[in-house]
Every structure is written in C-alpha cells, then in structure tokens.
Amino acid sequence: MQTPRINWALFITYTIASLAILIAALVSPAVRTAAPAPLRDVILPPPKPVTITLLYSTEKEEWLKEVIPLFESSRIRVNGKPIKIETDLMGSREMVLAVMDGEQKPVVLSPASSLQVSILEDQSAARYGRPYVVTNDNSVCRSVLKTPLVLVAWEERARVLWGNEPPGDLWRQLHDDLVNPQGWQAFNHPEWGYIKFGHTNPLGSNSGLMTILLMSYDFFNKTSGLESGDILSNMSYQRWFIDLETSIPAFGDSTGTYMKDIIAYGPSVYDIVAVYESVAIENAENAVGKYGALRVYYPPATIVSDHPFCIMDAEWVDDEQRQAAAKFIDFILQPEAQQLALDKYGYRPAEASIPLDGAGSPFLRYQDNGLRITLPPEIDLPDGSTLNTLLDFWARNIDR
C-alpha cells in the first residue's frame, strides 16, 4: 500500500520546519521552547543562564535562602535563558563602601534601608558623575520587606522609666537618664546599677544609623526637614548628642547580636536595646522564662527599614541582567514569598493586600509583648548629603 503523496509532503514539511527551528534554537535560546522536545533535549545544549549577583544585608538571609530556590525552580526565563541568583551578604553600610571602592559589583543591591541607597546615590554621583542607584525610581528600586526600629526592654525597668508607654520626648528623657551619675539610684533601685542602653555602630550597621537619626529628629522636635546645617551649627545639639552617645560603653556590629545578648545575659548587660521589630519577633520565644518579661516599645516617631532591592545602573550590568533582576524582584513581591516573610520571619510585607492580623500572624501571637500593627508617624528620610554629615559627625566625635 503506497503512502499518500500528501502525507509525504506533510512529513517533509514537518521535518524541514523542525530542523529550521533546531538551527534557530542553536542561535537563539528564545526559540528553544518551540523545538520538538525529544530532539531539543538530545541535540541542543542547555542555554547559558543569566546570572544575577545579589548583594544583600544579613538580616534577611534565612528568608532569601528559602525564596531563591523557589524562584530558580519556577522556570522563569529571559530570552529563553534560565536565571541564576548568586548571593553575597554584608552589613548595609559595609556594602555601600564596598561598591564605592569597586570591591563589589552586584547586579542587585539590597541593604536594610533606603537610607543606605540614598547615601550610595549621593556618593556615586559625586565621585563618578552619575548615580549607581536612584532611590525614588520604582522601576529599578523597590521595597520588598518592612520592619520599624523598636526598643526592646525588660518590662519591669521600662515601667520604672516610662510607665506604660515611652514619653513623647523619649530620646531627650533617655539622654537625661543615661548621663545621670546616680543611674537607677535616681529611681530608688540602686541594686540595678547604671542604666544600660545599646545600639549598633552606625558606620557599619543600618540600625545604628536609624537610631541616631531618630535621636537627632527628637532633639529638634520635628519629623522632617533635618539638614546638615542642623548638625553642624547647633552647639546645644552637638553637646547633647555627644553626651548621650558617650554614655554607651561599646557599639556592636550586628543588630541580631544585641537581641541575643539581652536574652542571654539579661539586664546585667542591657536594660534597653534598639533593634528591628523583625529581630524582636524572631527571638521572642527565646526570651520566655529568662529574666522576666521582655517587651517591645515603639518610639513616638518611627523609622522603617524597607529592604529595597535596587538594580544597579552601572557599566557591569547588561540588559538581560536588568530584565532578569526585574523578574526576580517581581517574584519575591508575590504573596507566597511575602506571606513567608511575615509568618516565619516577622517582616511586614511590602505587598499591602496581605493582612498583618491573619491566622498565624506573629503580630497576634506576641501582642502581649507589646507588638502593634499600627505604627507611630514616620520621619522623612533626609537626603544623602545630610546622612553623610550625620555619619561624619558621629565618626569624628564618637567612633572608638
């Protein structure tokens, strides 16, 4: 029985088309998915992945360890090529200095806060004639997680200082308490010694910079408009600031370390520490049954660590990497990744549709420890020049 001529014609046409697609796929990975599966997988080499180098702050390491494999297994492609994420982690301030010095050349930079992005924008524009990042450009720089700066304190001692809530002039009052040579004796508790407060080194840690920024705003009794001139020309502020900071014996490098130390060693080491809300949540279970109740307190004006993911505008980043980086940021803003950040790691999602009071939320679980869903008003972030002035002032007068 002879094969109909039309069947032969179709077979030949299909064969020619398949070979053409295979040849095209050799040239362009974007055509690969159109190639016949058996021949494609046997003949065609796998396309080289688009590699994204991600330099990120240490606080979100465990969350990223979970979401990056989910992204890489999702089969999201750029021009038919898979996307591979290579990571490195640093302190937020440290990574800015490393990029400025050329020691790090990431495709995506993610410090703990836009404060650091603003500093990098200012410094790179001044040194290289154009900014490596643009803080307010949502097409290349997007906040992914949120967590405010809070004070964690032993409840018994905090109530002696503040009652149920910190006062409106929290930082001014804390200054007076810290520099008082009587220490806890002034509150009829000489057995507690001196009042012990801790925050990280602002030259290396984002939470330290956030802390001294809140202090400065509180001194000037405002929540916006801090300028370099305020820091450099107001002698009363300078004396007040130096007195407060020199009352702190040492400044650590890691926000997480402060939380672990206050839990491990109790009020013999710290009465109060400034940490991220997410760090307090992550360690809440470890504090149970230690040295009494450990409680979260919100300053009267707050500042939020917003964990921006910023695609670098630099000569070492090509168009495919920019496209791949944008797809990765889209992915980690999806509900699955955002819900994981909330439920397991205590971050406030950047995705507004995810409620903070849903089932399993740590904000319900630990509300008796002082956690609250509604935040105090946020301060405005100063420009990079003002932030650099504040850091320089701290380095000249406090750094040790």
Rounded CA gap, 296 and 284, in Å? 10
In this prediction, residue 259 carries a pLDDT of 83
Domains and CATH numbers, the chain: 5-43 (no CATH), 50-143+308-346 (3.40.190.10), 147-305+366-397 (3.40.190.10)
One-letter amino acid identity for 376? Answer: P
* Total-model pTM: 0.84
The count of other CB atoms within 10 Å of the CB of residue 264 is: 12
Helix residue spans in 129-189 (DSSP H): 155-162, 170-179
In this prediction, residue 53 carries a pLDDT of 98
Rounded CA gap, 281 and 265, in Å? 18
In this prediction, residue 52 carries a pLDDT of 97
In this prediction, residue 31 carries a pLDDT of 47
10-residue averages of pLDDT along the chain (400 residues): 54 52 49 51 70 94 96 93 95 92 97 94 93 93 97 94 91 96 97 95 92 97 96 97 95 83 89 94 82 91 96 97 98 96 95 90 93 95 94 92
Rounded CA gap, 289 and 278, in Å? 20
Of 398, 348, 390, whose CA–CA distance to 213 is shortest?
390
DSSP assignment of 258-327 equals HHHHHHHHGGGT-SEEEEEHHHHHHTTGGGTTSSS-EEEE--SSB-EE--EEEE--STT--HHHHHHHHH
**Planar angle of CA 93, 94, 100, nearest 5 degrees:** 95
One-letter amino acid identity for 205? Answer: S
In this prediction, residue 260 carries a pLDDT of 84
Rounded CA gap, 119 and 93, in Å? 9
What digits encode the pLDDT tens for the residues 312-338?
Answer: 999 999 999 999 999 999 999 999 999
